[in-house]
Structure 1
Protein backbone atom coordinates (compact mmCIF):
# COMPACT_ATOMS: atom_id res chain seq x y z
CA UNK A 1 0.00 0.00 0.00
CA UNK A 2 1.00 3.61 -0.51
CA UNK A 3 -0.13 6.63 1.49
CA UNK A 4 -0.25 9.95 -0.40
CA UNK A 5 1.18 12.14 2.31
CA UNK A 6 1.92 15.69 3.48
CA UNK A 7 3.23 15.90 7.04
CA UNK A 8 1.58 19.24 7.88
CA UNK A 9 -1.95 18.00 7.13
CA UNK A 10 -3.81 17.04 10.31
CA UNK A 11 -5.94 14.60 8.31
CA UNK A 12 -2.82 12.87 7.02
CA UNK A 13 -1.37 12.86 10.51
CA UNK A 14 -4.49 11.15 11.84
CA UNK A 15 -3.98 8.29 9.36
CA UNK A 16 -0.26 8.22 10.16
CA UNK A 17 -0.99 7.88 13.88
CA UNK A 18 -3.44 5.05 13.16
CA UNK A 19 -0.72 3.29 11.13
CA UNK A 20 1.57 3.48 14.14
CA UNK A 21 -1.08 2.42 16.64
CA UNK A 22 -2.25 -0.55 14.54
CA UNK A 23 1.24 -1.81 13.72
CA UNK A 24 0.64 -1.42 9.98
CA UNK A 25 3.31 1.20 9.31
CA UNK A 26 5.71 -1.28 7.73
CA UNK A 27 3.04 -2.30 5.19
CA UNK A 28 2.67 1.21 3.79
CA UNK A 29 5.01 3.24 1.59
CA UNK A 30 4.84 6.95 2.35
CA UNK A 31 4.54 9.07 -0.82
CA UNK A 32 5.25 12.73 0.05
CA UNK A 33 3.52 15.37 -2.09
CA UNK A 34 3.14 19.13 -2.13
CA UNK A 35 -0.41 20.16 -2.85
CA UNK A 36 -2.76 23.12 -2.50
CA UNK A 37 -6.38 23.96 -3.36
CA UNK A 38 -5.09 25.40 -6.65
CA UNK A 39 -2.48 22.81 -7.57
CA UNK A 40 -2.98 19.07 -7.17
CA UNK A 41 -0.10 16.93 -8.48
CA UNK A 42 -0.93 14.15 -10.90
CA UNK A 43 -0.24 11.42 -8.35
CA UNK A 44 -2.77 12.97 -5.97
CA UNK A 45 -5.48 13.28 -8.63
CA UNK A 46 -4.80 9.70 -9.75
CA UNK A 47 -5.49 8.50 -6.21
CA UNK A 48 -8.35 10.92 -5.45
CA UNK A 49 -10.15 12.80 -8.24
CA UNK A 50 -10.90 15.59 -5.76
CA UNK A 51 -7.15 16.20 -5.48
CA UNK A 52 -7.22 15.98 -1.69
CA UNK A 53 -5.05 14.12 0.78
CA UNK A 54 -4.73 11.66 2.39
CA UNK A 55 -5.36 8.89 -0.11
CA UNK A 56 -4.45 5.25 0.33
CA UNK A 57 -3.39 3.37 -2.79
CA UNK A 58 -4.19 -0.31 -2.27
CA UNK A 59 -2.74 -3.31 -4.05
CA UNK A 60 -5.98 -5.26 -3.96
CA UNK A 61 -8.49 -2.62 -5.01
CA UNK A 62 -9.08 1.01 -5.93
CA UNK A 63 -7.58 3.83 -3.92
CA UNK A 64 -9.61 5.00 -0.96
CA UNK A 65 -9.70 8.51 0.43
CA UNK A 66 -11.03 10.71 3.21
CA UNK A 67 -9.20 10.16 6.45
CA UNK A 68 -12.24 8.63 8.16
CA UNK A 69 -12.59 6.00 5.45
CA UNK A 70 -8.87 5.19 5.54
CA UNK A 71 -8.81 4.94 9.34
CA UNK A 72 -11.79 2.55 9.33
CA UNK A 73 -10.11 0.46 6.63
CA UNK A 74 -6.81 0.26 8.51
CA UNK A 75 -8.55 -0.57 11.78
CA UNK A 76 -10.51 -3.35 10.07
CA UNK A 77 -7.38 -4.69 8.40
CA UNK A 78 -5.47 -4.81 11.68
CA UNK A 79 -8.47 -5.78 13.83
CA UNK A 80 -7.21 -3.13 16.24
CA UNK A 81 -10.53 -2.23 17.87
CA UNK A 82 -10.27 1.54 17.35
CA UNK A 83 -13.98 1.61 16.43
CA UNK A 84 -15.45 -0.59 19.18
CA UNK A 85 -19.07 -1.57 18.55
CA UNK A 86 -20.08 -0.90 22.15
CA UNK A 87 -19.42 2.83 21.78
CA UNK A 88 -19.28 3.18 18.00
CA UNK A 89 -21.60 6.18 17.69
CA UNK A 90 -19.68 8.09 20.34
CA UNK A 91 -16.37 7.33 18.59
CA UNK A 92 -17.74 8.44 15.22
CA UNK A 93 -19.23 11.63 16.69
CA UNK A 94 -15.97 12.45 18.43
CA UNK A 95 -14.04 11.84 15.21
CA UNK A 96 -16.48 14.03 13.25
CA UNK A 97 -16.10 16.82 15.82
CA UNK A 98 -12.31 16.64 15.59
CA UNK A 99 -12.41 16.61 11.79
CA UNK A 100 -14.65 19.69 11.81
CA UNK A 101 -12.11 21.46 14.03
CA UNK A 102 -9.40 20.58 11.51
CA UNK A 103 -11.50 21.80 8.57
CA UNK A 104 -12.23 25.14 10.23
CA UNK A 105 -8.58 25.58 11.24
CA UNK A 106 -7.35 24.84 7.72
CA UNK A 107 -9.93 27.25 6.33
CA UNK A 108 -8.36 30.06 8.37
CA UNK A 109 -4.88 29.11 7.13
CA UNK A 110 -6.09 29.11 3.51
CA UNK A 111 -7.81 32.47 3.91
CA UNK A 112 -4.45 34.05 4.71
CA UNK A 113 -2.25 31.91 2.47
CA UNK A 114 -4.18 31.99 -0.80
CA UNK A 115 -5.95 35.35 -0.81
CA UNK A 116 -4.24 38.68 -1.46
CA UNK A 117 -3.90 40.54 1.86
CA UNK A 118 -6.50 43.13 0.87
CA UNK A 119 -9.07 40.38 0.25
CA UNK A 120 -8.61 38.45 3.51
CA UNK A 121 -11.98 38.42 5.28
CA UNK A 122 -11.40 38.63 9.03
CA UNK A 123 -15.09 37.99 9.67
CA UNK A 124 -14.76 34.60 7.98
CA UNK A 125 -11.72 33.71 10.08
CA UNK A 126 -13.49 34.76 13.28
CA UNK A 127 -16.52 32.66 12.35
CA UNK A 128 -14.32 29.63 11.75
CA UNK A 129 -12.59 30.14 15.07
CA UNK A 130 -16.01 30.43 16.70
CA UNK A 131 -16.77 26.89 15.49
CA UNK A 132 -13.46 25.68 16.87
CA UNK A 133 -14.00 27.45 20.18
CA UNK A 134 -17.45 25.89 20.65
CA UNK A 135 -16.23 22.43 19.68
CA UNK A 136 -13.24 22.56 22.03
CA UNK A 137 -15.46 23.77 24.87
CA UNK A 138 -17.87 20.88 24.19
CA UNK A 139 -14.99 18.39 24.29
CA UNK A 140 -13.89 19.82 27.63
CA UNK A 141 -17.41 19.84 29.09
CA UNK A 142 -18.93 16.62 27.73
CA UNK A 143 -16.30 14.21 26.47
CA UNK A 144 -13.60 13.86 29.10
CA UNK A 145 -14.78 10.50 30.42
CA UNK A 146 -14.60 9.11 26.89
CA UNK A 147 -11.25 10.72 26.15
CA UNK A 148 -9.85 9.21 29.33
CA UNK A 149 -11.06 5.73 28.38
CA UNK A 150 -9.43 3.04 26.23
CA UNK A 151 -7.73 4.24 23.04
CA UNK A 152 -10.02 4.65 20.04
CA UNK A 153 -10.17 6.56 16.75
CA UNK A 154 -12.05 9.45 18.31
CA UNK A 155 -9.21 10.13 20.71
CA UNK A 156 -6.66 9.97 17.90
CA UNK A 157 -8.67 12.46 15.86
CA UNK A 158 -9.02 14.86 18.79
CA UNK A 159 -5.31 14.60 19.55
CA UNK A 160 -4.42 15.45 15.96
CA UNK A 161 -6.93 18.32 15.85
CA UNK A 162 -5.59 19.94 19.02
CA UNK A 163 -2.02 19.46 17.85
CA UNK A 164 -2.89 21.25 14.60
CA UNK A 165 -4.36 24.17 16.55
CA UNK A 166 -1.03 24.46 18.36
CA UNK A 167 0.89 24.12 15.09
CA UNK A 168 -1.01 26.75 13.10
CA UNK A 169 -3.03 28.83 15.59
CA UNK A 170 -1.08 28.79 18.84
CA UNK A 171 -1.66 32.49 19.39
CA UNK A 172 -5.42 31.90 19.72
CA UNK A 173 -4.87 29.67 22.77
CA UNK A 174 -7.54 26.96 22.63
CA UNK A 175 -6.51 25.94 26.17
CA UNK A 176 -8.06 28.98 27.89
CA UNK A 177 -10.99 27.78 29.97
CA UNK A 178 -10.46 24.16 28.88
CA UNK A 179 -8.25 22.87 31.65
CA UNK A 180 -9.42 19.25 31.62
CA UNK A 181 -8.87 18.95 27.88
CA UNK A 182 -5.48 20.64 28.19
CA UNK A 183 -4.44 18.13 30.87
CA UNK A 184 -5.61 15.19 28.73
CA UNK A 185 -3.80 16.46 25.64
CA UNK A 186 -0.54 16.98 27.54
CA UNK A 187 -0.49 13.25 28.24
CA UNK A 188 -1.90 12.09 24.89
CA UNK A 189 0.60 14.17 22.90
CA UNK A 190 3.43 12.16 24.45
CA UNK A 191 2.21 8.84 23.04
CA UNK A 192 4.88 7.27 20.86
CA UNK A 193 2.64 7.50 17.78
CA UNK A 194 1.99 11.20 18.36
CA UNK A 195 5.66 11.98 18.95
CA UNK A 196 6.69 10.08 15.81
CA UNK A 197 4.26 12.00 13.58
CA UNK A 198 4.88 15.58 14.67
CA UNK A 199 5.34 17.88 11.67
CA UNK A 200 8.60 19.77 11.52
Structure 2
Protein backbone atom coordinates (compact mmCIF):
# COMPACT_ATOMS: atom_id res chain seq x y z
CA UNK A 1 0.00 0.00 0.00
CA UNK A 2 1.30 3.46 -0.86
CA UNK A 3 0.05 7.03 -1.09
CA UNK A 4 -2.12 8.98 1.29
CA UNK A 5 -5.79 9.64 1.83
CA UNK A 6 -7.11 12.99 3.08
CA UNK A 7 -9.71 12.85 5.82
CA UNK A 8 -11.70 15.93 6.83
CA UNK A 9 -11.60 15.34 10.58
CA UNK A 10 -12.53 16.66 14.01
CA UNK A 11 -11.66 15.20 17.44
CA UNK A 12 -15.21 15.90 18.64
CA UNK A 13 -17.25 14.11 15.99
CA UNK A 14 -18.46 10.60 16.88
CA UNK A 15 -18.85 9.81 13.19
CA UNK A 16 -15.23 10.75 12.57
CA UNK A 17 -14.30 8.66 15.59
CA UNK A 18 -15.96 5.65 13.97
CA UNK A 19 -13.71 6.06 10.93
CA UNK A 20 -10.61 6.56 13.07
CA UNK A 21 -11.33 3.48 15.20
CA UNK A 22 -11.62 1.44 12.00
CA UNK A 23 -8.40 2.97 10.66
CA UNK A 24 -6.57 2.03 13.87
CA UNK A 25 -7.96 -1.50 13.85
CA UNK A 26 -6.95 -1.93 10.19
CA UNK A 27 -3.48 -0.42 10.52
CA UNK A 28 -4.31 2.40 8.10
CA UNK A 29 -3.70 5.46 10.28
CA UNK A 30 -0.30 6.14 8.64
CA UNK A 31 -2.11 6.41 5.31
CA UNK A 32 -4.39 9.21 6.51
CA UNK A 33 -3.67 12.90 6.15
CA UNK A 34 -5.95 14.43 8.79
CA UNK A 35 -7.31 17.88 7.97
CA UNK A 36 -8.99 19.63 10.89
CA UNK A 37 -12.36 20.75 9.49
CA UNK A 38 -15.29 22.50 11.13
CA UNK A 39 -18.70 21.46 9.78
CA UNK A 40 -21.10 23.69 11.71
CA UNK A 41 -24.77 23.28 10.80
CA UNK A 42 -25.31 27.02 10.21
CA UNK A 43 -21.94 27.72 8.57
CA UNK A 44 -21.22 25.49 5.57
CA UNK A 45 -17.47 25.04 5.13
CA UNK A 46 -16.26 25.91 1.59
CA UNK A 47 -13.24 23.61 1.91
CA UNK A 48 -15.45 20.62 2.65
CA UNK A 49 -18.05 21.65 0.08
CA UNK A 50 -15.38 21.53 -2.61
CA UNK A 51 -15.46 17.73 -2.23
CA UNK A 52 -18.76 17.14 -0.42
CA UNK A 53 -21.67 19.49 -1.21
CA UNK A 54 -23.37 18.58 2.07
CA UNK A 55 -20.46 20.11 4.05
CA UNK A 56 -20.31 17.16 6.45
CA UNK A 57 -17.56 15.26 8.15
CA UNK A 58 -16.09 12.78 7.83
CA UNK A 59 -15.28 13.14 4.15
CA UNK A 60 -12.45 11.10 2.65
CA UNK A 61 -10.59 12.32 -0.43
CA UNK A 62 -8.89 9.48 -2.26
CA UNK A 63 -5.58 9.57 -4.12
CA UNK A 64 -7.29 10.31 -7.45
CA UNK A 65 -9.13 13.30 -5.97
CA UNK A 66 -12.52 11.60 -5.76
CA UNK A 67 -14.31 11.73 -2.44
CA UNK A 68 -16.32 9.41 -0.25
CA UNK A 69 -18.76 10.71 2.34
CA UNK A 70 -20.77 9.18 5.19
CA UNK A 71 -18.91 7.39 7.93
CA UNK A 72 -20.08 3.86 7.18
CA UNK A 73 -19.16 4.18 3.49
CA UNK A 74 -15.67 5.36 4.46
CA UNK A 75 -15.33 2.57 7.02
CA UNK A 76 -16.29 -0.07 4.49
CA UNK A 77 -13.88 1.41 1.94
CA UNK A 78 -11.02 1.24 4.46
CA UNK A 79 -11.99 -2.29 5.40
CA UNK A 80 -11.94 -3.34 1.74
CA UNK A 81 -8.63 -1.60 1.18
CA UNK A 82 -7.04 -3.52 4.05
CA UNK A 83 -8.87 -6.80 3.46
CA UNK A 84 -10.17 -6.42 7.00
CA UNK A 85 -12.74 -8.31 9.06
CA UNK A 86 -14.91 -5.38 10.20
CA UNK A 87 -17.70 -5.97 7.64
CA UNK A 88 -18.67 -9.66 7.62
CA UNK A 89 -19.21 -10.74 4.04
CA UNK A 90 -22.27 -12.93 4.41
CA UNK A 91 -24.62 -14.85 6.62
CA UNK A 92 -26.08 -14.01 10.00
CA UNK A 93 -22.85 -12.36 11.15
CA UNK A 94 -23.27 -9.71 8.45
CA UNK A 95 -26.87 -8.88 9.31
CA UNK A 96 -26.08 -8.80 13.02
CA UNK A 97 -23.16 -6.42 12.49
CA UNK A 98 -25.20 -4.15 10.20
CA UNK A 99 -28.13 -4.15 12.61
CA UNK A 100 -25.90 -3.13 15.52
CA UNK A 101 -24.42 -0.46 13.28
CA UNK A 102 -27.86 0.89 12.38
CA UNK A 103 -28.92 1.01 16.03
CA UNK A 104 -25.69 2.71 17.09
CA UNK A 105 -25.86 5.24 14.25
CA UNK A 106 -29.53 5.94 14.96
CA UNK A 107 -28.74 6.50 18.63
CA UNK A 108 -26.00 8.94 17.63
CA UNK A 109 -28.41 10.82 15.36
CA UNK A 110 -30.93 11.12 18.20
CA UNK A 111 -28.28 12.26 20.70
CA UNK A 112 -26.97 14.98 18.40
CA UNK A 113 -30.48 16.28 17.71
CA UNK A 114 -31.23 16.12 21.44
CA UNK A 115 -28.10 18.14 22.23
CA UNK A 116 -28.97 20.72 19.56
CA UNK A 117 -32.50 21.06 20.91
CA UNK A 118 -31.52 21.41 24.57
CA UNK A 119 -29.09 24.23 23.68
CA UNK A 120 -31.76 26.33 22.00
CA UNK A 121 -32.93 29.41 23.89
CA UNK A 122 -36.41 27.89 24.15
CA UNK A 123 -36.16 24.10 23.79
CA UNK A 124 -39.30 22.27 22.73
CA UNK A 125 -39.92 20.03 25.74
CA UNK A 126 -41.94 17.32 23.97
CA UNK A 127 -39.06 16.92 21.53
CA UNK A 128 -36.50 16.73 24.33
CA UNK A 129 -38.68 14.14 26.08
CA UNK A 130 -38.94 12.08 22.88
CA UNK A 131 -35.15 12.02 22.44
CA UNK A 132 -34.68 10.94 26.04
CA UNK A 133 -37.28 8.18 25.67
CA UNK A 134 -35.58 6.86 22.53
CA UNK A 135 -32.19 6.95 24.24
CA UNK A 136 -33.40 5.02 27.29
CA UNK A 137 -35.16 2.46 25.08
CA UNK A 138 -32.02 2.01 22.97
CA UNK A 139 -29.89 1.50 26.08
CA UNK A 140 -32.33 -1.10 27.39
CA UNK A 141 -32.20 -2.97 24.08
CA UNK A 142 -28.42 -2.79 23.91
CA UNK A 143 -28.10 -3.95 27.51
CA UNK A 144 -29.89 -7.15 26.52
CA UNK A 145 -27.51 -7.46 23.57
CA UNK A 146 -24.36 -7.15 25.72
CA UNK A 147 -23.57 -10.90 25.78
CA UNK A 148 -23.84 -11.09 21.99
CA UNK A 149 -21.75 -7.93 21.56
CA UNK A 150 -19.09 -9.54 23.73
CA UNK A 151 -19.16 -12.92 22.00
CA UNK A 152 -19.03 -11.74 18.38
CA UNK A 153 -15.76 -10.79 16.66
CA UNK A 154 -15.21 -7.03 16.50
CA UNK A 155 -17.14 -5.49 13.61
CA UNK A 156 -18.56 -2.18 12.46
CA UNK A 157 -21.52 -2.97 14.73
CA UNK A 158 -19.63 -2.96 18.03
CA UNK A 159 -17.48 -0.03 16.88
CA UNK A 160 -20.54 2.13 16.17
CA UNK A 161 -22.31 1.22 19.41
CA UNK A 162 -19.09 2.04 21.26
CA UNK A 163 -18.81 5.43 19.57
CA UNK A 164 -22.42 6.22 20.53
CA UNK A 165 -21.75 5.34 24.17
CA UNK A 166 -18.59 7.42 24.08
CA UNK A 167 -20.62 10.37 22.81
CA UNK A 168 -23.04 9.88 25.70
CA UNK A 169 -20.11 10.18 28.09
CA UNK A 170 -18.76 13.24 26.27
CA UNK A 171 -21.94 15.28 25.86
CA UNK A 172 -24.36 13.79 28.42
CA UNK A 173 -22.12 13.04 31.39
CA UNK A 174 -24.93 13.72 33.87
CA UNK A 175 -27.25 11.21 32.20
CA UNK A 176 -25.88 8.29 34.18
CA UNK A 177 -26.49 5.67 31.52
CA UNK A 178 -24.39 2.98 33.23
CA UNK A 179 -26.92 2.49 36.02
CA UNK A 180 -29.60 1.92 33.38
CA UNK A 181 -27.55 -0.58 31.38
CA UNK A 182 -25.03 -2.34 33.68
CA UNK A 183 -24.27 -5.26 31.35
CA UNK A 184 -23.70 -2.84 28.47
CA UNK A 185 -21.46 -0.74 30.72
CA UNK A 186 -19.28 -3.75 31.53
CA UNK A 187 -18.95 -4.61 27.84
CA UNK A 188 -18.13 -0.98 27.00
CA UNK A 189 -15.44 -0.83 29.68
CA UNK A 190 -13.67 -3.70 27.96
CA UNK A 191 -14.07 -2.12 24.54
CA UNK A 192 -12.51 1.11 25.80
CA UNK A 193 -9.34 -0.79 26.67
CA UNK A 194 -8.66 -1.42 22.99
CA UNK A 195 -5.88 0.87 21.68
CA UNK A 196 -8.19 2.06 18.88
CA UNK A 197 -10.70 3.46 21.37
CA UNK A 198 -8.08 4.84 23.73
CA UNK A 199 -6.45 6.72 20.84
CA UNK A 200 -9.70 8.29 19.63
CA UNK A 201 -11.38 9.62 22.76
CA UNK A 202 -13.28 12.84 21.91
CA UNK A 203 -11.58 16.04 22.99
CA UNK A 204 -12.20 19.78 23.00
CA UNK A 205 -9.73 22.20 21.56
TM-score range, shorter chain: over 0.9
CA contact (8 A) 2:14 2:202 kept: no
Secondary structure in 2 matching 1:139:
helix
Q: Distance in 2 between matches of 1:102 and 1:8?
A: 13
- 2:76 corresponds to 1:65: no
Deviating more after overlay: 167-176 vs 96-105: 167-176
TM-score normalised by L of structure 2: 0.91
TM-score normalised by L of structure 1: 0.93
- Superposition pairs of residues 1-200 of structure 1, within 5 angstroms: 1-60=5-64, 62-85=66-89, 86=91, 87-113=93-119, 115=120, 117=121, 119-200=122-203
CA contact (8 A) 2:6 2:33 kept: yes
Segments of 5+ residues of structure 1 without an aligned counterpart are: none
Secondary structure in 1 matching 2:133:
helix
- Report deviation, 1:62: 1.9
CA contact (8 A) 2:139 2:180 kept: no
**How many correspondences in the alignment?**
197
Q: 1:75-99, CA deviations, whole angstroms, 9 ceiling, x for partnerless residues?
A: 1111111011241111111001000
Q: 1:143-170, CA deviations, whole angstroms, 9 ceiling, x for partnerless residues?
A: 5313432111111111111010010012
- Report deviation, 1:128: 1.1
Q: Distance in 2 between matches of 1:37 and 1:164?
A: 18
Segments of 5+ residues of structure 2 without an aligned counterpart are: none
Q: Distance in 2 between matches of 1:160 and 1:195?
A: 12
Q: Distance in 1 between matches of 2:98 and 2:64?
A: 26
CA contact (8 A) 1:148 1:184 kept: no
Root-mean-square deviation (Å): 1.4
CA contact (8 A) 2:143 2:184 kept: yes
Q: 1:51-74, CA deviations, whole angstroms, 9 ceiling, x for partnerless residues?
A: 111111111352011111111111
Deviating more after overlay: 178-187 vs 82-91: 82-91
Q: 1:27-72, CA deviations, whole angstroms, 9 ceiling, x for partnerless residues?
A: 1100101221101211111221111111111113520111111111
Q: 1:116-147, CA deviations, whole angstroms, 9 ceiling, x for partnerless residues?
A: x1x21122122112112111111111353134
Q: Distance in 2 between matches of 1:95 and 1:20?
A: 18
